[in-house]
Structure 1
């Protein structure tokens, strides 16, 4: 190597070395991350007799959740949700009726645990285009809801157990429950246990109440909804209305359906006008590549028109039902099958 080349390489090496010294790559160690979390967390502590992550440590109880936090100026509930989102720490909420909505709209990266905690509305949605979509939300334990559970344009949502009840004294609108609605743009939604004790009807206040569980969304239907067990104890209108694709449901029990009124009811997305008034326990429409392992429908006290409606579909991308069972069969309640439809039943009882 000539002296000139040697000198040039030496200069280049020196420049690179100095550059690395002046702009070292920065990384956050686990210890630094923990310190940051501790520093943020310490700003909101009001009662340090409770462990880190216990909502009561930051002033949250069922009775105080709507009060203003002295540090943030926001209510206690919003403050701890901000804390959970900013740090990634799990927040554990005590039991009781909170007298408010659980609003998780546009929230991300939440890890929450509830202990039979009761709210009016529970909502996870993108409320306008300038806000984020709800994403990566984990809800453990049991939630109780008196208005409805709504999931819209959200992804990677995992819910352990949720029970939808009717109690007009605990519903902020003074209505009966309006069910679970997994709406447009939603994907990768997982629920271990969903119980709907009552779905209401009776006036135009229930205009958009269609089914105890509705999975739909015009031109942007939900994808990959997985539910281990659904128990619908009573629905004034439809039991389940399911559209979309790649859904997996392990077990469905429907005790009673179609026992209310269609008064003031609006049409349903992806359905023909007027079909919404013919109540069904199970309505599968424009749904593809999905599987329901077991479904049991009790017709003893049900007053719907159809046990099931197997609507528009594609047998090449079917909805497969492992076992379809009807108990206390009512001969006046039949199954409506469109031609073509995309439903395959492996065992029918």
Structure 2
């Protein structure tokens, strides 16, 4: 992990607040989420005192597969007590930027449980089919209908979804959404049949008083359907299940992955975008797709409650249609001041958020 002068003081103060728990050990009372810099793709490692979970196994291109496995090698070298074992791997949906490294990880490390959305179509279908076949005995999948059966508004959990139970603290891992078996009301056929992003698994992780949300590439239709079921605005609950502290920004900061309704339901303290760097190349970069988009950034700036220790200016995509599918760079962008607690792997490199069981956070990048 990188430390430089512009955020050294913030990290120092945060580590003091964490009372030395930022380095996770079997004896600590803290967890860490590693938002790994894998380019225009997604891979997040959840580190607990007694185990580890990987949410998505994407990298921007085949050349970066080794970068992800090397990161995991170094992690398991430090955490030798975990015996190169991932207690759970979740692939949110069947796109290659979320599962390109899946086979390499499965061949290199022990995986105890594997969850995906069950679909076998999309750019990542080859990897998803292979994993489902080779790891059939540990594979499970959950639809939105199964997760919310009987009006359940507390999320779904079981020993496969939540295999972590540490001495003295038991994290809670729940699925809030999955693939849709039937087309929800108001969805077009394209929303349901052709938009694989709308079938993303949504994961909520609670650790002590803290909570994290991972929405994959869930699009507006999926967001609206999820909020109608869970949000206190539409389905009053003693606790709003979507109200969280740390938000992994949906769809790499795309304009259709975050909206005002979602931000109002979450009220996140911190937001993290898994996204590539802005370059003038045309393949698998943030500039190809216009990520993060100004629409998402505006919602994040308005809705993220904490501030960055030091503000930064970063490139964001402007309004207009992405031409990424035609392999043409997205050429409408500008620098924006980022003063809220919003981080991005394309801006900051790998980001590690550590928190103890009393909601004391440290952010390292």
TM-score normalised by structure 2 residue count: 0.28
Higher relative contact order, structure no. (Cα contacts within 8 Å, ≥ 6 residues apart): 2
Give the greater-gyration-radius structure (CA). Answer: 1
- Larger % of strand: which? 1
TM-score normalised by structure 1 residue count: 0.29
